[in-house]
Chains A and B, each alone.
Chain A
Amino acid sequence: DQQVKQNSPSLSVQEGRISILNCDYTNSMFDYFLWYKKYPAEGPTFLISISSIKDKNEDGRFTVFLNKSAKHLSLHIVPSQPGDSAVYFCAAGNAGNNRKLIWGLGTSLAVNP
């Protein structure tokens, strides 16, 4: 049973437009959420995170939104660039269950020039 779900296996957007990647979770105990980006033949790299005490966190072109009531978070990339083409993983955890993150299956983003 997937506690963290990324229901869109893939997404394609035009360069310069907004990319929106979605993630849903089922465990109401999760209080910390992260996004990692993965290029082919490389390991995932940390992108951005958000704590449950916030509903938005922004870092440059990347913004993560958290809707606790809906158990939903989303990653917005504006503007999208071809170099953003990668697989994006959503991960969630609980600070009390130290460091054990539950990961989604990933969404493959293709940004077309």
Chain B
Amino acid sequence: DARVTQTPRHKVTEMGQEVTMRCQPILGHNTVFWYRQTMMQGLELLAYFRNRAPLDDSGMPKDRFSAEMPDATLATLKIQPSEPRDSAVYFCASGLSAGLISDTQYFGPGTRLTVL
């Protein structure tokens, strides 16, 4: 049963520290999405990649967030420096894209980040 995996599942850190979240997409999927879920804003798209190339990161605060895909099996989302307002659940999703909005996204279990 192929699944998207995310590590760590929980992260508690102090303001100013660097946070790195990792995602392993489903083998063979060519698109990766990073979302942030908060109570007030719901699910917000931060960035997405197709064939490891970033296609849209307009939802991401550029001054402190960065997203990369070093290879097809790993996507990373970094926050440096972290702030209390970054506390949220961060989801990674992957998909097999035909370039259509109807392509299904498969979500990982999320990383719950708490910045003190």
Interface residues, chain A, with chain B CB atoms under 8 Å away: 2, 32, 36, 41-46, 49, 51, 89, 91, 93-95, 98-101, 103-106
Contacts and interface: CB of A to CB of B under 8 A. Distances in A.
B100 interface: yes
24 contacts: A32-B101, A32-B102, A41-B109, A42-B107, A42-B109, A43-B4, A43-B93, A43-B106, A43-B109, A43-B110, A44-B43, A45-B106, A45-B107, A46-B104, A46-B106, A49-B102, A91-B43, A99-B31, A99-B55, A99-B101, A100-B45, A101-B45, A105-B39, A106-B42
A45 B108 CA distance: 9
A44 B109 CA distance: 8
Given A43-B108, A44-B107, A95-B101, 4 more contacts: A43-B93, A98-B101, A99-B97, A106-B42
Interface of B: 4, 31, 39, 41-45, 48, 55-56, 91, 93, 97, 99-110
Contacts of A95: 100-101
A85 B110 CA distance: 20
Majority SS of interface residues in chain A? loop
Max count, chain A CB within 10 A of own CB: residue among B41, B48, B101, B108: B101
A94 B105 CA distance: 16
A98 B99 contact: yes
Contacts of A103: 42-44
Given A41-B109, A43-B93, A43-B109, A94 B43 contact: no
Contacts of A105: 39, 41-42
Contacts of B48: 99
Given A43-B109, A43-B110, A94 B101 contact: yes
Contacts of B4: 43
A32 B43 CA distance: 17
Nearest to A91: B43
